[in-house]
Structures are given as structure tokens and as C-alpha cells.
Chains A and B, each alone.
Chain A
Amino acid sequence: DVKVTQSSRYLVKRTGEKVFLECVQDMDHENMFWYRQDPGLGLRLIYFSYDVKMKEKGDIPEGYSVSREKKERFSLILESASTNQTSMYLCASSLGMTSGSYTGELFFGEGSRLTVL
């Protein structure tokens, strides 16, 4: 089974702290995504990556950066956390569209609930 693992289920940080959220997948997926989920707003795409070293801005990239140095790992970085970044963060992965096994199925991690005080 595909497993997408997020490093922390719950984090509490202070305003101005640097925050790292790690995501690791074990199925050699090309595509990886970071979303945040807020009540009334649903899931919104922050950043995504189609390959190692590649990154693309999603719909709400402001205040975030990402790193993909290895294919299995996609990190979300909050350079200076703010209270409006309190949210549930979800990582997802999928096969690349050029893969012979492509189904379009997304595999999600369990989520990281971040509280910024």
C-alpha cells in the first residue's frame, strides 16, 4: 500500500518561528502536493512539485516555500509563522501523468494540525 507520512500530527509554534513540515512517500511518485484545509474554505493548494528540484506555486503560496531535494520527500516551510497560518496541512502524492500506471489517484497523509500562537 502507498504510504504518505507527515512528520508531525500536531504542532504548536509561536509567531515569527520558522516551521518545517515534512512529507515522505514510499511509492516513487513523481507528483507531490501541499494543501491547507480551513473550515468553510475547503482544501486549497499551496505548492506542488512534478519532479525532484521542481516546484510550482499553487493558489495560496504567500508566506510559504517548499523544498524537494529527493523524490520521496517534499517539505513545506513557513519562514516566519503567523497566526493566520494556523490550519490543517495535508500532503498528497500521485504518479506522473506519463507513467504507464497512471490512474490519477491521489494519496494523502494524515495531516499536520499547526497552531501558531
Chain B
Amino acid sequence: KNEVEQSPQNLTAQEGEFITINCSYSVGISALHWLQQHPGGGIVSLFMLSSGKKKHGRLIATINIQEKHSSLHITASHPRDSAVYICAAEGGAQKLVFGQGTRLTINP
């Protein structure tokens, strides 16, 4: 069993829909990262959180430490949100364990 599990693996939605991607982890963590990878490879850091909730534009990330679960939400989704979203659990000193990613496709 992977230490970091994401669901769903693939998600297709229509423009404007509310999107939720889930991440569960089995290790103790100091922080949880959400990353975005566009076709071609480049990865961008979206959030790093250790408790509660963070918001940036249409993106919201939440974490429940007791349940070892985090979610990434996208409101009013747009085709440009199409990407692979990756969560990663940080055990300390920035050593990350990555989930396998969720491929999101937003159709116009």
C-alpha cells in the first residue's frame, strides 16, 4: 500500500463544475504539499499546509490531521485547470512522499 493515496486517478468535468481531489496518507507528517503539473513536465507548487485551510484564487486546500486526509478544491473550473494534481506528504526536512497524481480534464 502506498503511503500517499490520491483519488480519483482521473477526473473529467465540464467547465464551471466544482472539483474535489482527495489525498490520504499513512505516515506522520510535518506538512502536506499540493502541486500542479502541466503537459510537458513543469511542476508548480500550489500549497503547503500543516493545519486548517488555505485559499488562493479559485483553489482551496484543506487538511484534517486527525484523519490524515487532505482535499484540493477548484471552484468554477476552467479548461486551463486541466493538469495533473499531485499531493505529497512531508515527513520532515522537506523529504516528500508523493501520491501518484490525479489527471484532471476540464471540457469547455
Contacts and interface: CB of A to CB of B under 8 A. Distances in A.
B27 interface: no
Q: Of B41, B48, B99, which is in contact with the most chain A CB atoms at under 10 Å from its CB?
A: B41
Interface residues of B, number: 21
A11 to B, nearest CB: 14
A61 B100 CA distance: 20
A43 B48 contact: no
A104 B42 CA distance: 18
Nearest to A102: B94
Nearest to B49: A104
Interface residues of A, number: 26
Contact of B41 (A45, A94, A97, A111): A111
Given A42-B86, A42-B100, A97-B93, A104 B41 contact: no
A94 B43 contact: no
A105 interface: yes
Contacts of A45: 95-96
A42 B2 CA distance: 11
Contacts of A97: 93-94
B21 to A, nearest CB: 14
A44 B41 contact: no
Contacts of A81: none
B45 A105 contact: yes
A90 interface: yes
Given A94-B94, A97-B94, A105 B48 contact: yes
Interface of B: 31, 33, 35, 40-45, 48, 86, 88, 90, 93-96, 98-101
Given A104-B31, A104-B90, 15 more contacts: A31-B94, A41-B100, A42-B99, A42-B101, A43-B88, A48-B94, A50-B93, A92-B43, A106-B33, A106-B35, A106-B96, A108-B44, A109-B42, A110-B40, A111-B41
Interface of A: 31, 33, 40-45, 48, 50, 58, 88, 90, 92, 94, 97, 103-111, 113
